[in-house]
Structure 1
Amino acid sequence: MTPTSPPFWHPDAFARRRPHLAVRGRVVGAVRRFFEARDFVEVDTPCLQVSPGMEPHLQAFATDLVAPNPDDGRRLYLHTSPEFAMKKLLVAGEPRIFQLAHVFRNGERSATHHPEFTMLEWYRAGEGYRVLVDDCVDLVRACAEAAGRQRFAFRGMECDPFRPWRILSVADAFTEYAGIDLLAAYDGTHEPDPAPLAAEAARIGIHPHAGDRWEDIVFRIMFERIEPHLGAGVPCVLTDYPVCMAALSRPKPEDPRLAERFELYACGLELANAFGELTDAAVQRARFQADMELKERLYGERFPVDEDFLAALEHGMPESAGIALGVDRLVMLCSGAEDIADVLWAPVAEPLSQR
């Protein structure tokens, strides 16, 4: 089959991407300077893990560890996030850590998704999740300055990271952009009754599918009516997610129906996901089990629990705040790239259908 476009290494194709990659270098340098100036330690944890992560809808890459003793061989996974290993380092006593990690998610490929990508995660022990908002403001501005970018633009939307950012709760976003009172349709449990929200969705022309869970309907409304508006004009911090949508987050003390979680958007593009970290091992185990039961019901598979991670929580993880930010997407905004492959030095091999 004759390729429809040259491979990434072809000099002509590479020359087109080279300016974006130059910006990538400046952004990564700005990230390291940012954290070094704040007394963070850069860590480097293994990609191979007992558990890749426990999000029900993520697919992982699996491999088999071959050991000198055949009885020691076992199934391992490429991590979808370095979270579990980094939290173990918090238990070990590191108070401020960050990592630029290659992470892996199977079944994801689009202009904004790649099966292998770079995730920036950082954790602050002894601090609340709201301090991470300030981190994001200062970090994104530092990266924009390093790239020589005053404004971001993506798919026809513009965003000025140097103006005051917008803080918006999930409930207020549903009211503003979808005309739905989300909390009136939420019973506060970890598996809410979908019927009230399904009725509201149908009222605005979003018809639920048979078997939809409450969270499925939330995602569809967000995708169709809310996310396209987030980060227009200025970046938007979307806060106070329902607790059933934050398996690794603590409930808010003032309203246990909601979680200490926020996501960051710019130009309609999700950049980061933050939590006030859950430290109760028993609650975490119960959430993992519920997530894996859902995964098995939906996809016919489940991932093993990282018992070492739960043991670390039992030993005593400090109250902490943590966040994951998609470096490649931030580089896209800083360089003006429209496709994530344009900011990767060597993209994962293209599907045969695209050659």
Structure 2
Amino acid sequence: MSDDTGTAGEAVPEHELLAVRRGKLDRLRADGIDPFPHAFPGVTPIGEVRAAHAGLEAGAETEARYRIAGRLHARRGQGKMAFLDLDDRSGRLQLQARRDVLGEEVMDRLLDLDLGDLVGIDGVVFMSRRGELSLRVEAVTVLAKSLRPPPDKHHGLQDVEQRFRRRELDLIGNADTRALFMTRAKVISTVRRQLDDAGFVEVETPILQPLYGGAMARPFTTHHNALDRDFYLRIATELYLKRLVVGGLERVYELGKDFRNEGVSFKHNPEFTMLEWYEAYADYEDAAGRLESIVHAVSVAVGYEGDLDFGPPWRRVSFVEAIQEATGVDIMAHPEGADLAVAVRAAGHELKGMDELTWPQLVDDLLSKFVEPNLEQPTIVMDYPVAISPFAKAHRSKPGLTERFEAFAAGMEIANAFTELNDPDVQRERFEAQVRFSEAGDEEAQPYDEVFVQALEQGMPPTGGLGLGIDRLVMLMTGTRSIREVVLFPAMRD
């Protein structure tokens, strides 16, 4: 079996490697072997084989036969007997190939295969004398001839940019990457199960929208030729989901992609996965309790062992007090952007472009720069100002504030929740205020949505709603510091 090196481990030029592999492809076909068959039924995952024989003693034989399939990872030995490693997504298993079992032709064909080739193996389980669970090969089927060498088997794919651009190579070469995305899948399935078991209905709302809304963000714009009109990739699912609550679907959620035309950072990707749920007859306190319960259940399901304590209840702090404690500035005492900028500067702080920022932008920047980075353990920041919360219901006892919270952990926001605004007249006023912010230069202000206001005029029950960033939740559960690590194909520069 080729390991794609020359004598003494010297690297072979790529064009020669490709030529060698093409030559082997031609030989397989000349020998009547289909190198790309249609199917290979009856495969057992390697993980199941390992689990079924975990208690075997060293040197033990069995009569258990299995059919497995995967990618050839390594080979040791050449003559009468060889050992090979086979990988699938559930693990790795050692193969023992013996010439007296396979015969000359099959043994030679097996040893002529390359690392990275996909093969199917039929064989019998045994435990080697060294205590390595193995499969004694009885039959070999080529499933896909690999025409390019895999990443280096000792070092995997180390170049970070290449790992993100060629995720398939990263998955082939790095077992940790495969494990991370298996964890991501478990995070999502656990979230779904928690909501399904609580009586929520999963729905799908438009990704292409005639008017974007539900968040403070800039959209991606596209054009529909047949309708001859512009559409926007959604920045949130909120407004459509609340229209469904109006329609009588009292507990709904959507788990899918949102898109925001913003900068890229360790916690921002322009395409990201969000969960939003809306629950009639509930408020933001109910949403907080459900969030704590779901995230804790996820941490248990994935076997989280880090330093964060996801057990409820989480710490709660006030938005206004958190900023005042961090900066010395009482934002509610300075209701205009210019006045607040003066107070921030007087307290010894400076923010980029501060004098050009609107009050909502400046307040958001104060939280992002001075509060958020210090929220390591799971924390809920409560009661946001009206000006930055156009869809949240006014606080029932704190003038100028809303019943809104954001949840943070490991120094980043993971969730945003409201007691939802259901008074159509107040919602109309909030939209009009957002239009004024937009006219003042805020590119992320919420556009006016008359269709949504008319939906509220049909009557929406008291509702608690929440959005949870799935990518960031996976970052927490895997101890990952960059969103690009947990997105299979992140956005990249040319």
CA distance in 2, matches of 1:14, 1:108: 30
Q: Could you say which residue in structure 1 is the equivalent of 2:219?
A: 60
Matched, 1:228 2:377: no
Larger mean Cα displacement after TM superposition, 162-171 or 240-249: 162-171
SS of equivalent residue, structure 2 residue 467: strand
CA distance in 1, matches of 2:273, 2:259: 9
Q: Could you say which residue in structure 2 is the equivalent of 1:34?
A: 194
Q: Could you say which residue in structure 1 is the equivalent of 2:257?
A: 102
What one-letter code is carried by the residue in structure 1 that aligns with 2:373? P
What one-letter code is carried by the residue in structure 2 that aligns with 1:344? V
Tell me which of 334, 348, 356 is aligned to 1:211.
Answer: 356
Q: Could you say which residue in structure 1 is the equivalent of 2:207?
A: 47
Matched, 1:280 2:423: yes
Instruction: Report if the CA contact (8 A) 2:320-2:330 is conserved.
Output: yes
Matched, 1:128 2:280: no
Q: Could you say which residue in structure 2 is the equivalent of 1:172?
A: 321
CA distance in 1, matches of 2:455, 2:246: 6
Tell me which of 348, 351, 354 is aligned to 2:493.
Answer: 351
Matched, 1:319 2:462: yes
Instruction: Report if the CA contact (8 A) 1:242-1:259 is conserved.
Output: yes
SS of equivalent residue, structure 1 residue 103: strand
How far the C-alpha of 1:164 sits from its partner, in A, is: 3.8
Q: Could you say which residue in structure 2 is the equivalent of 1:202?
A: 345
Instruction: Report if the CA contact (8 A) 2:435-2:448 is conserved.
Output: no
What one-letter code is carried by the residue in structure 2 that aligns with 1:124? E
| Structure 2 unaligned blocks of 5 or more | 1-159
For residues 263-302 of structure 1, what are the structure 2 equivalents within 5 Å? 263-298=406-441
How far the C-alpha of 1:302 sits from its partner, in A, is: 8.2
Q: CA RMSD in A?
A: 2.4
- 1:96–1:76 Cα change, 3 Å: same
What one-letter code is carried by the residue in structure 2 that aligns with 1:215? P
- 1:198–1:107 Cα change, 3 Å: closer
Tell me which of 151, 161, 169 is aligned to 1:11.
Answer: 169
CA distance in 1, matches of 2:407, 2:298: 15
SS of equivalent residue, structure 1 residue 53: coil
For residues 83-98 of structure 1, what are the structure 2 equivalents within 5 Å? 83-98=238-253
Q: Could you say which residue in structure 1 is the equivalent of 2:480?
A: 337
- 1:128–1:147 Cα change, 3 Å: same
Deviations 1:173-231 (A, max 9, x none): 12332233333x14xxxxx223553343123321363233333332332233211112x
What one-letter code is carried by the residue in structure 2 that aligns with 1:162? G
Larger mean Cα displacement after TM superposition, 135-144 or 201-210: 201-210
CA distance in 1, matches of 2:162, 2:388: 41
Tell me which of 236, 242, 249 is aligned to 1:81.
Answer: 236
SS of equivalent residue, structure 1 residue 256: coil
What one-letter code is carried by the residue in structure 2 that aligns with 1:93? G
Instruction: Report if the CA contact (8 A) 1:8-1:347 is conserved.
Output: no
How far the C-alpha of 1:329 sits from its partner, in A, is: 0.2
Q: Could you say which residue in structure 2 is the equivalent of 1:189?
A: none
**What percent identity do the matched residue pairs reach?**
37
| Structure 1 unaligned blocks of 5 or more | 152-157, 187-191
The answer to which structure, 1 or 2, has the higher relative contact order (CA under 8 A, 6+ apart) is 1
TM-score with structure 2 setting the length: 0.63
Instruction: Report if the CA contact (8 A) 1:125-1:319 is conserved.
Output: yes
Instruction: Report if the CA contact (8 A) 2:184-2:474 is conserved.
Output: yes
SS of equivalent residue, structure 2 residue 182: helix
CA distance in 2, matches of 1:40, 1:111: 32
Deviations 1:64-99 (A, max 9, x none): 2233xxxx4322111100111101100110111111
What one-letter code is carried by the residue in structure 2 that aligns with 1:9? R
SS of equivalent residue, structure 1 residue 118: strand
CA distance in 2, matches of 1:224, 1:281: 34
Instruction: Report if the CA contact (8 A) 2:218-2:444 is conserved.
Output: no
CA distance in 2, matches of 1:74, 1:311: 23
CA distance in 1, matches of 2:184, 2:291: 18
CA distance in 2, matches of 1:20, 1:100: 20
How far the C-alpha of 1:148 sits from its partner, in A, is: 0.6
TM-score with structure 1 setting the length: 0.86
How far the C-alpha of 1:4 sits from its partner, in A, is: 5.9
Instruction: Report if the CA contact (8 A) 2:414-2:473 is conserved.
Output: yes
CA distance in 2, matches of 1:134, 1:104: 28
SS of equivalent residue, structure 1 residue 258: coil
Q: Could you say which residue in structure 1 is the equivalent of 2:382?
A: 239
Larger mean Cα displacement after TM superposition, 35-44 or 279-288: 279-288
Residue correspondences, number:
331
- 1:298–1:55 Cα change, 3 Å: farther
Instruction: Report if the CA contact (8 A) 2:431-2:447 is conserved.
Output: no
How far the C-alpha of 1:126 sits from its partner, in A, is: 1.1
- 1:169–1:63 Cα change, 3 Å: same
CA distance in 2, matches of 1:257, 1:210: 23
- 1:301–1:226 Cα change, 3 Å: closer
Instruction: Report if the CA contact (8 A) 2:336-2:359 is conserved.
Output: yes
